[in-house]
Structure 1
Amino acid sequence: MNTSGDAFYDPPAGYESATPGAILGSRQVRVSAFSAVSMNVQAWQLLYRTTDSDGNPHAAVTTVMIPQGPAQPRPLLSIQAAYDAMVRSCMPSYTLTADDPAAPPPSEALLAVSALERGWAVAIPDPGGIDNRFLTPRLMGYTVLDGIRAAQQFAPLGLPGAATRIALTGYSGGGIGSAWAAELHPTYAPELNIAGAAIGAPVADLGAALHSASGRAAGGLIAMGVAAVMNDSPEFSAALDRYVTPRGRSVLRAALVDCANTTVSKNLFLNASDLLTVPLDVVLADPVIAAAITERNRGSAVPTTPLYLFNAVNDEISPIGPVDDLVEKYCAAGASVTYVRDAMPDLVSNHAIVGLTSVGGTFAWLDRVLAGERPEPGCRTTTLASSLDDGAWAAELPDVAQGLARTLLGQALG
């Protein structure tokens, strides 16, 4: 469990009897926007009690931050990371605080810089919990919601408890965690004052993603996704083993112990057929495999908080069809959804690029909901030629540049 040798991640004896969100330990930390550039903020890590996918007691760590100066009531933004891995050194709590220059820089730290510049508090949980899971059904939602509960009660942050206005955001793997949290919020943590969730490229159907990513530059994410399900389910692993080539077994073993950037760089343009002895559709039709894939899709519950959901029409990792279907399902059940589709041509765009170009629209929407503005009820879908076209990015760019410059100069944020 504690592969890093850091005892902070070990929950104390008897923690199971604590309530979800209870703080089990805390420590002050230094956080970085890049491996060697510290953010001039106040930061702590909290070990807290949460719930695993089967409803049993579990534990996780979140990294929380506020601007320098006296603690005071302020909104809280929970940023879910696209860590996409199953080892401790890939988790945000490690990459945000690692002194190792080779540690992968957490892109979500750039979002944290913009949020802290606004004077908000920030929480970046390890959605996989202390067992470092990824794609595990429900678990990622529970860890996010309980991380917020822990932050609310952590006195040094100065948050106003149950009155804290909260928003969620995340892209790709972070969008998966944010979507789970938004769906579970009404039943698992209804007391949380979540004003909205900005969710990007949430990979609404894992099976469809395995098809669309095949043969693309980021095809190595196929191995990450399949290995994550193997990590959760011996039944899935046994069923899959009947179809996997020797090379496939080697690639999947490595994916269990590597961070996403390493797996992708080692498997550029990986095709699903490189791993399998039969066509991918045959594998996905296996009843055991199909059940495990379906269990990881969202849409079984409806968020009650307003959503800002965005996805590229030509996204190779989060195909647009299943996201359209998810939005339709949410809307038919009465959810409030602002849905933005980016139609930038595939030749000049990809999953990673839209993750950057959508930042302006995301923060423009988060600004409104965290200021107390509630979006109009109902659903609105907009297809843009590019997410750069809505004007929000031009308005956001000076603030992003200023936050980065202040970080690089070691100046206090916020």
Structure 2
Amino acid sequence: MGHIAFRRAVGACAGGLLLLVAASTSAVAQPIYPTPDPDPFYAAPADIAEHKPGDVLEMRALSPLMMFPDTDITLIKFRSTNSEGKPIAATTTVLTPHERAVDGPLLSYQTIINGLGTKCAVSRALYTNDPNLMIREAPAYNVVLRRGWSIAMPDHLGPEFAYGAARLGGQITLDGIRAVRSAKQLRLEHSPVTMAGYSGGGMATAWAAALAPVYAPDLTIAGAAAGGVPMNMVKMLEGLGYGAHPVFGLAFAAGIGLEREYPDRFPLSDQLNDKGMAIRNEMANSCTNDLLADGAGRSVLDVARTTSMTQDLSARKVVEENSLELYTDSVPNMPVYEWHSPIDGLVPVDAILNTDHRWCAAGVKLQSAAIPVPDHLTAAVLGLPAVLDWLTARYQGIPAPTNC
């Protein structure tokens, strides 16, 4: 299937899901949440509300890995905030090379996490050979580790793995940086900090950059590099349709994730038929490949209890609230490097450019790069050398360039 068709497929499936939740005014069926991790480390403490965002709740040294030689791995649990303003416990995994300076560079790297289950957590994925769970960016981490940079990788989908809740990812990213900086034993308390990520990880990165002035004004971040960012989820829902699509599983998973984060405003489960509920239940703890397999060849018509649907303003508002192009309360207070394919088949490029232009008009030092390739993932790889150079310059205090 061509890339343009692939994007339309995603939009059609997800758009159908938006209409699916529109037929009900009150949810009867309850959302399905992931099975809690059996390790009590990941659980929220009873007194979590007494802690401030970014407070360290617990730390654990993890076993060293051969793929990251001479590197310590630390898991940090910290207090963050969900989309409804409630306290949550979140986690970040920190790689610290042995050969590094005290207060050396810290990179918060938001990985691509397509998942609904706790086994999709970064700390879990690093310790498996299962291709369904492996972090695809991991081999590249050694490039920056050898430079003496430390890397923090937050589980930016939150403890309920609310896939699709983009704003949540920004908040968790910022609180993760707060937590790493305050963990004195890591010796990163005064480190210069940057952020980076691509696709879903780029979405968490870009949201963190935009939210920083209002959510974490105490943080000074030297720069954010975000690539292939889905800046407007509404536009990705505009291609409505009811046909079967190979990527229906990811769209359905996003609906499940949004319902987890907004149970009263995005009542997906209430509109599922028996088959839809069975697929939902099967997906509840799955990661990328299993999500795709469970939804392969399916459509909204397969899972919907009714096709008599009307627009629901509450459900649509949830999607708008997670669309960065539409967020105008604040803009990044740091330099931004943004890169994308000019003919990306997965992400609406006009939403990226519109957001760039708005940020530029607001005075953000933004450098945008169009990687001359025809697909989403190749742009990620080919853009990395320039991203590393840009991040290095931010650590060195060189004034950020702009092509606004």
Which TM-score band applies after superposition, normalised by the shorter structure? 0.7 to 0.9
Aligned equivalents of 2:246, 2:227: Cα separation in 1: 20
Cα shift at 1:145 = 1.0
Using structure 2 for the length normalisation, give the TM-score.
0.80
Tell me the residue number matched to 1:402. Answer: none
Aligned to 1:397: none
The letter for the 2-side match of 1:290 is R
- In the alignment, what sits opposite 1:27? 60
1:353 matched to 2:353:
no
- Pick closer, same or farther for the CA change 1:343–1:118 going to 2, 3 Å: same
CA contact (8 A) 2:35 2:285 kept: no
Within the alignment, does 1:15 sit opposite 2:58 as a pair?
no
User: Among residues 250, 259, 264, which one is paired with 1:230 in the alignment?
Assistant: 259
**Residue of structure 1 in register with 2:94 after alignment:** 64
Contact in 1 for aligned 2:37/2:118 (Cα 8 Å) = yes
Deviation at 1:341, TM superposition (A): 2.1
In structure 1, how many angstroms separate the alpha carbons of the residues matched to 2:91 and 2:77?
A: 4
Q: Distance in 1 between matches of 2:297 and 2:287?
A: 17
Aligned mates of 1:122, 1:352 — CA distance in 2 = 22
CA distance in 1, matches of 2:349, 2:297: 20
Task: Return the structure number with greater relative CO, CA threshold 8 A, min gap 6.
Answer: 2
* Cross-structure match for 2:223: 196
Deviation, structure 1 residue 368: 1.3
Is residue 285 of structure 2 the alignment partner of residue 257 of structure 1?
yes
What residue is the counterpart of 1:53 in the other structure? 83
- Paired residue type of 1:184: L
- 1:375 paired residue number: 400
**Structure-1 separation of matches of 2:341 and 2:307:** 30
- The equivalent position to 2:336 in structure 1, one of 304, 307, 318, is 307
| Map of 1:404 onto structure 2 | none
Letter in 1 for 2:111: A
Stretch deviating more after TM superposition (351-360 or 191-200): 351-360
Whether 1:186 aligns to 2:208 is no
1:198-243 deviation line (CA, Å, top 9, x unaligned): 001121111322457987765532222222212223345436855x
Same amino acid, percent of matched pairs: 27
Q: How does 1:113-152 map to 2 (within 5 A)?
A: 113-136=142-165, 138-152=167-181
How big is the alpha-carbon RMSD for the aligned residues of Structure 1 and Structure 2?
2.9
The answer to whether the 8 A contact 2:279-2:294 is kept is no
Deviations 1:71-114 (A, max 9, x none): 62201000011112221101212112x34646621123234222
For 2:372 and 2:298, the matched residues in 1 are separated by 25
Query: 1:183/1:278 Cα in 2 relative to 1: closer, same or farther (>3 Å)?
Result: same
Letter in 1 for 2:209: A
CA distance in 2, matches of 1:316, 1:268: 19
Q: Find the aligned partners of 1:268 and 1:293 in 2 and give their Cα distance.
A: 24
Alignment of 1:320-339 (within 5 A): 320-339=349-368
C-alpha distance in structure 1 between counterparts of 2:380 and 2:360, whole Å: 24
The answer as to whether partners of 2:266 and 2:318 remain within 8 angstroms in 1 is no
8 Å CA contact retained: 2:342, 2:371: yes
Q: Distance in 2 between matches of 1:360 and 1:212?
A: 34
Task: Specify every segment of 5 or more residues in structure 2 that has no aligned partner in the other structure, as ranges.
Answer: 1-33
Query: Within the alignment, does 1:340 sit opposite 2:366 as a pair?
Result: no
Whole-Å separation in 2 of the counterparts to 1:251 and 1:332: 45
Note the 1:248-287 alignment, pairs <5 A. Answer: 248-267=276-295, 285-287=311-313
Unpaired runs of 5+ residues, structure 1, are: 381-414
- The residue identity in structure 2 corresponding to 1:176 is M
Match of 2:107 in 1: 77
**Aligned equivalents of 1:42 and 1:100: distance in 2?**
20
Q: Which amino acid aligns with 1:325?
A: N
Contact 1:204/1:323 (8 A) holds in 2: yes
Q: Decide which of 118, 121, 141 is 1:88's aligned counterpart.
A: 118
Pick closer, same or farther for the CA change 1:289–1:175 going to 2, 3 Å. same
Residues 16 and 289 from structure 1, CA distance in 2 versus in 1: closer, same or farther, beyond 3 angstroms? closer
Taking structure 1 as reference, are residues 135 and 109 closer, same or farther at Cα in structure 2, changes over 3 Å only?
A: same
- SS in structure 1 at match of 2:93: strand
Residues 223 and 255, structure 1, Cα contact 8 Å, conserved in 2 = no
In the alignment, residue 227 of structure 1 is paired with which amino acid? I
Letter matched to residue 286 of structure 1? D
Q: What SS does the aligned partner of 1:43 have?
A: strand
Contact 2:210 2:332 survives alignment (8 Å): yes
Take 1:2 and 1:152, find their aligned partners in 2: how far apart are those partners? 30
In structure 2, the residue matched to 1:164 is 191
Mapping of 1:242-253 within 5 angstroms?
A: 242=271, 248-253=276-281
